[in-house]
Amino acid sequence: MSEPESWRRFDLALPTPEHELLAASVREFVAREVEPQAAFHDREERFNLALFRRAGELGFLGVTLPERYGGAGLDATAAVLLCEILSTSDPGFCLSVLAHSILFAQNLAVNGDELQKKRILPRVACGEWVGGLCMTEPEVGTDVLALRTRAQREGDHYRLEGTKTFITNGGVDDGVLGDVFIVYAATKPGEITALLVEKGMPGFRLGQKWRDKLGMRSSFTAELVFEGVRVPLANRLGEEGEGAVQMMRNLEIERLTLAGMSLGIAQRCLEVMLRHAGERKAFGRPIRDFGQIQRYIGEGFAEYRAARALVYDVARRFDPARAGQRVEADAAKLFAAQMGKRVADAAIQVLGGYGYMGEYVVERLWRDAKLLEIGGGTLEAHQKNLTRDLSRRPDRIRG
């Protein structure tokens, strides 16, 4: 299927034939199935479960998972590529895919034991189960060591008490929980343990669904409540107290893929404003002939390409199973997130009143772009991490 003219790509050469094939498959999926539903599900604030399961059928929910668990066995570059292309159309849907495939599935693939992986990952990779991650709480965000959710060891199980909020994939519809979650809870003061919590466990329920969000409206964001949930020891990831290390390692690839989402938003906004600037006339000339418009397009494109080079350079060298890559991941997301929002803002400015209207796409993308400056680590958290890490290892500045 040929792409519409408005979807011209500003691509870097992809490193392998497998990446080229993945990119072509995802673009076709986006053009045929994602784009036609994107505006509706954003407007209705509804998660498209059928489309999500279709993504599973096509192999897009487990690109980094080993093939023996139903994945594609690809790398961080593939994960970034998937998120970039999905986000040219529906960043909210992409966010649900990312929370499922990276925050949950990739996390489990690295930190789980063989029995856990064999039992759960094939059902997650195909989309039968919807997964997510539970870290943020009503009174705890960046300060993860202050978690108030508690897991008390009682013989052969943990008793889990607490509330998590802003959980992507917390539900799939009103009153319907997601299927399986990695939940971070305090087992001792300053000690965090990761537990697998599954739908149907007594005491586990869906709380408030967050409605009327600024953006990412096609993802389901909810509060999850744990009231004396009995979690078997077999559902613990690693040893007790290892949760903080597992969390930080997984946040690195999360930040890299979120940066990929910003690239997709910027790419689509550039395409829309470039087309509009050629079609819209003022004083008898296309507005692309005017310096003010040229600045938005030219600088936006330069920033997009700079961000894309950074993100894919980090992805190329990224090992999802290895810790200690925070400097690169934080830098990629810090730069890309701000770039994506700036380019979306420029697109609205170039389109003028049309850019302010929902049917012209950039309004929705502008709203979606803001989350990437908050979710997965705020801009301020990235700035703090980078300053601290580079102060400890100034040699990292040279690469």
Active site residues: 254
Alpha helices of 287-398 — where are they, by DSSP H? 291-316, 326-351, 362-371, 379-392
Neighbouring-strand partners of residue 202: none
- The dihedral region occupied by 66, where left means phi > 0, alpha psi between -120 and 50, and beta the remainder, is beta
Contacts made by residues 13-17, CB under 8 angstroms, sequence distance 24+: 14/77, 14/81, 15/77, 15/316
**Which amino acid belongs to residue 300?**
G
CA distance 124 to 179: 9
CB distance 107 to 196 below 8 Å: no
CB distance 50 to 127 below 8 Å: no
CB distance 259 to 307 below 8 Å: yes
Q: Specify the length of the chain in residues.
A: 399
3-class DSSP assignment, residue 66: coil
CB distance 153 to 240 below 8 Å: yes
Q: Cβ neighbours of residue 160 under 8 Å, at least 6 residues apart?
A: 149, 150, 151, 183, 185, 195, 197, 203, 226, 228, 229, 230, 231
3-class DSSP assignment, residue 35: helix
Give me the torsion for CA of 19, 5, 267, 350, rounded to 10°. Answer: 180
Instruction: Name the residue with tokens 């003022």.
Output: 282
